[in-house]
Amino acid sequence: MSTNGYQAPGQRPGLLIAIGGAEDKTRERKILRRFVEAAGGAKAKIAILATASALPDTGEKYREVFAALEVAEIVVLNVPDRAAALEVGSPVLEALEGATGFFMTGGGQLRVTSALGGTPIAASIRRRHAAGMVIAGTSAGASLLSEHMIAFGEGGGTPRQRQVQMAKGLGLAPGLIIDQHFRRRDRLGRLLTALSYNPDPIGLGIDEDTAALIEPDGMLTVLGSGTVTIVEGAGLTYTDTHHALPGKPLTLLGLRLDILSDGARYDLSTRRGLPPLVAPVPVPDPEEVAYGDGREA
């Protein structure tokens, strides 16, 4: 199963890495290191898109992080607005053509879609990914991978009518709706509300310092210190989203929810969760060690 709708015959799309934001950039850097490895390691050619960020130095900060991971060829794409995205003969297109890895920073996802939507740059990103370019997005960059993208919305654990606004994303993972900063910003309600509008996509809620690695065959693997919440709505038997009043809680019956931590997997083709391939090594509880007799605290 391909996770995108742009695969040409004989081509294998690149790995997609959706990061929940606030990933470790200074210590082990497991998630960013995995992105670099997938893109070619020291031989990787990485293009960074920081259009989502309102901070002028975001792209340069990520350049420093990837340089510390021994990537020699790194370019920060200069696409501050739609005028730049539409510029004929843009050097951005040349950089994308040679990139083995493409990284989208956090910020505001609508800054990216309003600038890139319908442009040659957006088309190039999809085409290059279909040809094998690895793509990672953190925070807003993760949401951008969806076709039906969460643009913004309110936090809270209860789904409520009109709690979330949707927009068209880059469409690299059309079968998914991706949300980020999931646990810290309490975003279960808005992901459930998004699925109530149309239960066909699979909902991914990704915690901070956590990533969903999505292979071209549709196998998703979790990497990081948090969890990925997967909501499967195709079995929904009832929803009142079509007649609930604005702001009112919704009734959703028949949803299935899986929680995946580091190493756990999910087959997007069969919509089935799977345990890690390698069982984690148990870490002794400090209190149990202190008691020494196994009794509960």
- Tens of each residue's pLDDT in the chain, 297 residues: 444 444 455 689 999 999 999 999 999 999 999 999 999 999 999 999 999 999 999 999 999 999 999 999 999 999 999 999 998 778 999 999 999 999 999 999 999 999 999 999 999 999 999 999 999 999 999 999 999 999 999 999 999 999 999 999 999 999 999 999 999 999 999 999 999 999 999 999 999 999 999 999 999 999 999 999 999 999 999 999 999 999 999 999 999 999 999 999 999 999 999 999 987 677 776 666 555 555 554
| Among 52, 44, 50, 104, CA closest to 74 | 44
CA–CA distance, 243 with 192 (Å, rounded to integer): 16
Task: Say if 297 falls within a structural domain.
Answer: no
Catalytic-role residue among 53, 181, 196, 232: 181
Strands 101-104 and 134-138: parallel
Residue 4 maps to a domain: no
Q: Is residue 190 part of a domain?
A: yes
Catalytic residue among 143, 148, 208, 232: 208
Rounded Cα distance between 65 and 35, Å, is 12
Tell me the CA end-to-end span of the chain in Å, nearest whole number.
48
Instruction: Please indicate, yes or no, if residue 10 is contained in any of the structural domains.
Output: no
Q: Which of 139, 143, 146, 196 is catalytic?
A: 139
- Asked whether residue 7 is assigned to any structural domain, the reply reads no
Q: Return the CATH number at 207.
A: 3.40.50.880
> Does 139 participate in catalysis according to the annotation?
yes
Reply yes or no on whether 23 is catalytic.
no
Count of the separate structural domains present in the chain: 1
**Structural domain includes residue 199:** yes
Residue 70 belongs to a domain: yes
3 assigned to some structural domain: no
Q: Which domain holds residue 286?
A: 16-291
Please tell me the pTM assigned to this model. 0.92
208 is catalytic: yes
